[in-house]
Structure 1
Amino acid sequence: MRKYILIIVSFFLIQCKTAQNLETKNTQQEIAIVIHGGAGTILKKNMSPELEEEYKLVLEKAVREGYTILKNGGTSIDAVEKTINILEDSPLFNAGKGAVFTNEGKNELDASIMDGKTLKAGAVAGVTTVKNPIDLARAVMEKSEHVMLAREGAEYFASKNGIEIVDPSYFYVEKRYNSLLKAKEKEAIELDHDSKASFYDPDIKDAKFGTVGCVALDKDGNITAGTSTGGMTNKKWGRIGDSPVIGAGTYANNKTCGISATGWGEFFIRNVVAYDISAMMEYKNISLEEASKEVIQNKLTKLGGTGGIIALDAKGNIVMEFNTAGMYRASIDKDEKLTIAIYNK
């Protein structure tokens, strides 16, 4: 009899342990990550199979790097920074190494990062010697009392905080420089005909904007968003776009979502796109998908803006919304499903 009682007790304990394990598994925080490499007139007919494969390989490498950090228990801040580093180091994207040229023939870089747990943020604008601007943005967030630093001041802060500095020639990519020459040539023709400068030409808004970004959700339920860019080809007068502007190009809040934007920056600033999506979720109690569609397909589009966003909410739901022909994008969701895409359809 005693033997049977022990068997029953043992069986009961095993069942309890199994139930406990299942409960732990069911309540375990999901992890997820999503990235973009720019949105614009990205058409398959203009893309060679070899170049398309190059883009996909870098996108996959970047998103897997971030996901591995998350899976190993790392923070979303680390995941975002390291993921963006890979995109910044690739000449394929308009950020870091692949940054476009200003009217003066320089590369001026912007970046920002935001922590959804603390709502702290860091941003830099117009830097010309910082190899990975997202690293400097993080340093501003964590090692200063400020949110945004610009130009010489930002570079001095970088040198004092161990951020890698390079000669400006590091950023030279012939393809990008040729784009500047074409833009200047087009501008000269337009000015001869007494028309608008190409900076605001309608054709420019339809060009590819190669800004890069990442949003990640870690095991502790913390969301981080980051964005890095070289801005617009032929930009003048110290122009700064939305990428380093918290609430426009980057936003994160654990209560709602994380956002990184890409597109014609002036319109994203005017619409405060990143924050608007979060605010609609919080105040209207609607889903990330609903809020993203309303802001990008309705508000932004009606004003004449082009571009898109990547987004991730506190439950690991991913949205990649844009109103252009394409957006370089990739994600690994809470079920570990990898998605890599370029075109709208």
Structure 2
Amino acid sequence: MNRILIILMALSAAFCSKNPTSDSETAAVTEKPAYAIVIHGGAGTILPENITGEQEAAYREALNTALTIGEDILNAGGSSRDAVEQTIIYLEDSPLFNAGKGAVFTSDGQNELDASIMDGATRNAGAVGGLHHVRNPIRAARAVLEHSRHVLLTGAGAETFAIEQGLDTVAADYFYTESRWEALERARAKEDQKSGALLHVDYKYGTVGCVALDKDGNITAGTSTGGMTNKRYGRFGDVPVIGAGTYADNATCGVSCTGHGEYFIRYAVGHDMTALMAYKGMSLEAAGQHIIHEKLKEAGGAGGLIAIDKNGNITMPFNTPGMYRGYARPGEREVGLFGEMAE
């Protein structure tokens, strides 16, 4: 009997010591940290064989730089709102990510930019969609949050508002990058000429996002994107839709999503995270796992999310081969691209 008990205990210990699965990364805490920050730069078929060593190094450096920008603000006692905005501005200014400077092209060869931000203390939010000339859409989203009685502004009206707020605007060719133009040409070449159906050519959902918890216990979540390559008809994904791509509530968590936007809208993923925690008592990790690996996956939705709860726990589930991501807390930092975190 004792021998059987010893064997069972050994098997249990071995099971519990296994690393979390690569697409279910969670950073739990035993004591609430002074601050926490988590970022993403898109999810999809991100595999080592599809990226050069130089490109991988560039992405890791960009993720680490973004984390440093946000962490420095939080460590100095700054607000989660400032940390999220400044972190996303850096990601928008990088041509590596599908947001701001690195935005993809629509079917008519334009760049259309969307962004949103939400304050977990007040549950106030600001969002913009269909921008063509605002250099940093996340700044426009914050301006809507702070200086408008509305939540979502789009198109020419959103750009007029941004100009009235003194935000930087640029000529349309500022957003041009050769790699994104080539992606559009590939999409056009593979488009179903008979039906005109849009095809997913580059299986990578390039959104950027950030969630932060500051020393005052306030959570802010923000997301920014250039949308979908070869999109038409003024399409919006989940990013500017509060409760879909972005959500924050100090009582539960903050969330930023990346993936096939239509599914994140239909399943109200951002709000669903907080609802599962508030109404069913689920943990941050359990809620994220359920949404990404069960609800979305069963429906055919691809992507992932990042989230921080009120206690500083972090989760980053994704159901795609990879997701650009990283997090930092006092004395702790990780970044990852593929199925496992970097050491």
Which digits, 9 at most, give the CA deviation of each residue in 1:171-193, with x for residues without a partner? 00011011101111111xx22xx
Match of 1:234 in 2: 230
Q: Deviations 1:65-92 (Å, cap 9, x if unpaired)? A: 0010000000000000000001000000
Q: How many Å separate the matches in 2 of 1:45 and 1:181?
A: 23
| 1:286-331 deviation line (CA, Å, top 9, x unaligned) | 1000000001100011110000000000000010010000000011
Q: Matches of 1:77 and 1:153 in 2, distance apart?
A: 24
Shift in alpha-carbon separation, 1:229–1:28, aligned structure 2, 3 A: closer
**1:186-335 matched pairs, under 5 angstroms:** 186-187=190-191, 190-191=192-193, 194-195=194-195, 197=197, 199=198, 201=199, 203-204=200-201, 207-333=203-329, 335=330
Distance verdict in 2 for CA 1:27–1:322, change over 3 Å: closer
Does the Cα contact within 8 Å between 2:219 and 2:253 map onto a contact in 1? Answer: yes
Aligned counterpart, 2:107? 103
Give the aligned partner of residue 144 of structure 2: 140
Kindly indicate whether residue 80 of structure 2 is the aligned counterpart of residue 72 of structure 1.
no
Which deviations, in whole Å up to 9, do the C-alpha atoms of 1:109-168 show, x marking residues without a partner? 000000000000000000000000000000000000000000100000001001111111
> Any conservation in 1 of the 2:63–2:326 contact (CA below 8 Å)?
yes
Q: Secondary structure at the match of 2:337?
A: strand
Q: Which runs of 5+ in 2 are unaligned?
A: 1-29
* C-alpha displacement of 1:101: 0.2
**What one-letter code is carried by the residue in structure 2 that aligns with 1:132?**
N
CA distance in 2, matches of 1:263, 1:174: 23
CA distance in 2 between counterparts of 1:339 and 1:36 reads: 12
TM-superposed CA distance for 1:36, in Å, is 0.2
Q: For residues 138 and 216 of structure 2, what CA distance do their matches in structure 1 show?
A: 22
Please tell me the root mean square deviation across aligned C-alpha atoms, in Å: 1.4
- Aligned-partner SS, 1:100: coil
What letter matches 2:121 in structure 1? K
Question: Offset at 1:30?
Answer: 2.3
Q: CA deviation at 1:336?
A: 2.6
The alpha-carbon deviation at position 210 of structure 1 amounts to 1.1
What is the rounded CA distance, in whole Å, between the counterparts of 1:27 and 1:336 in structure 2? 13
Contact 1:31 1:316 in 2 (8 A): yes
> Is the contact between residue 32 and residue 311 of structure 2 (CA under 8 Å) also seen in structure 1?
no
Q: Is it true that 1:160 corresponds to 2:164 in the alignment?
A: yes
2:205 is paired with a residue of what secondary structure?
coil
The structure with more radius of gyration: 1
* 1:83 equivalent in alignment to 2:87: yes
TM-score after normalising by structure 1: 0.88
One-letter amino acid matched to 1:108: E
Moved over 4 A (4+): 26-29
Query: 1:29·1:221 contact (CA, 8 Å) conserved in 2?
Result: no
Question: Residue 51 in 1 paired to residue 87 in 2?
Answer: no
CA distance in 2 between partners of 1:223 and 1:28 (Å): 14
The count of residues paired between Structure 1 and Structure 2 equals 311
Q: Distance in 1 between matches of 2:138 and 2:83?
A: 12
Aligned-pair CA distance for 1:27: 9.0
The equivalent residue for 1:131 is 135
Alignment partner, residue 182 of structure 1? 186
2:125 maps to what in 1? 121
- The letter of the residue matching 1:337 is E
Give the helix-richer structure, 1 or 2. 1
Cα contact 1:29–1:220 (8 A) shared by 2: no
* Structure 1 residue 341 corresponds to structure 2 residue 331: no
Q: In structure 2, how many angstroms separate the alpha carbons of the residues matched to 1:319 and 1:296?
A: 11
Note closer, same or farther for the CA distance 1:148–1:45 as it changes in structure 2 (3 Å cut). same
Q: Residues of 2 paired with 1:195 and 1:238: CA distance?
A: 19
In the other structure, the counterpart of 2:26 is none
Q: Which amino acid aligns with 1:52?
A: E
